[in-house]
Amino acid sequence: MGGAGPCGGWPAAGERALARVSSGAIAANCEQLGRALTGGARLCAVVKADGYGHGAAACARAARAGGASWLAVATAREAVALREAGDEGRLLVMGSLTRAEAREAVAADADLAVWSAQLLAALPAGARVHVKLDTGMGRLGTRDARAAAELCDAAAADERLELVGAMTHFATADEPGDEHFPAQLERFTAFAAGLRDRHPELLLHAANSAATLREPDNHLDMVRCGVAIYGLDPFQRDPAAHGLEPALSLESWVATVKRFEPGEGVGYGRRFVAHEPTWIATLPIGYGDGWRRALGDNCDVLVAGRRHPLVGTVSMDNVTIDLGPETTLAPGEPAVLIGAQGEQRILCEEVARRLGTINYEVTCGLGARVPRAHA
């Protein structure tokens, strides 16, 4: 092996770990989703949790450029941050809020989700509201369709408030063939039909990313797409099947390359011990960056366009990969943990399957010390 030593070198510039985020991919994904909408439905891009780990402000701008007429977040603080970043469009806060947070959200010119008379009465003047019916998610919202309808009427009659919408959220839209999703949809459409006569301008919305792609009949007046705008598959398979392009790639680099003889181990607990001569590379990324400990001996990394298995324990700041018995790789070589290199590609969905989780959690779990580079 030429050029590699026990201590190694480093790139001339860059970061120990970096998440690259393509604003163009997000805009294109929004355009793709928008083309699939039926009945004149609008697109609401969900940018909560720092844009699912991609960076909320930049993703919001890209989503607007791709045709999203609304944005949605979970908290008042997220709404304020978007306004401070310069967003001036329609914005919905979907989560639970304290009185102080409700005032903060209204001051940020954001709409609010409500589901009880107590919440409605506590809202400050000027609040715009979306009444939430719980059709089977079992979390926020009232389960009583009659109470939800009465809440809509009360909001419309209150001169301090403005009734804007009625909403629900699907629990199993990402499980094709289940019976709960169509039951939820039927319950919401029956509820909404009774409201149209009294509130003809009411904005009805229910579909998340999976529901938007699964059933065009549920697009109603607006869809709320989160994971799909980032080019992640809500069905946890392959985003390309839906014409979506992953927006995020995760990169690091080779810090050292060392020769291991049989019996020599690497990392905490010596979970990896060489059984034959091999070369091991160390990358400066670990669970402190969000690359989960459960990926030890359980994922691949791309270096020089080839897959190499991650071996041993994922530590806070480093991982190790097996380069095999012969290598020409040297310190400073770029490495890709999520994304493409050469003809190889590692999807976020693959990483999620290795962890027994969903792609959302992988991107949301990337730590704050991993910079996001938007282009």
287 is annotated as an active-site residue = no
Question: Which one of 132, 268, 287, 360 is the catalytic residue?
Answer: 268
360 is annotated as an active-site residue = no
| Token pair listed for 163 | 């009734």
| Token pair listed for 87 | 């967003």
β-sheet bridge partners, residue 222: 42, 205
| Token pair listed for 337 | 């943990």
Question: Which one of 48, 230, 287, 360 is the catalytic residue?
Answer: 48
Helix H or strand E encompassing 92: strand 90-93
> How many alpha carbons lie under 13 Å from residue 341 in its C-beta half-sphere?
21
How many helices (H) and strands (E) the chain has is answered by: 11, 20
User: What three-state secondary structure class fits 273?
Assistant: strand
Radius of gyration of the chain (CA): 24
| Integer Cα distance of 156 and 163 in angstroms | 5
| Integer Cα distance of 214 and 217 in angstroms | 9
Residue 313's alpha-carbon distances to 262, 273, 299, in angstroms, are 18, 11, 12
Q: What is the DSSP string of 232-248?
A: --TTSS-GGGGT----E
| Integer Cα distance of 54 and 230 in angstroms | 8
Active site residues: 48, 268
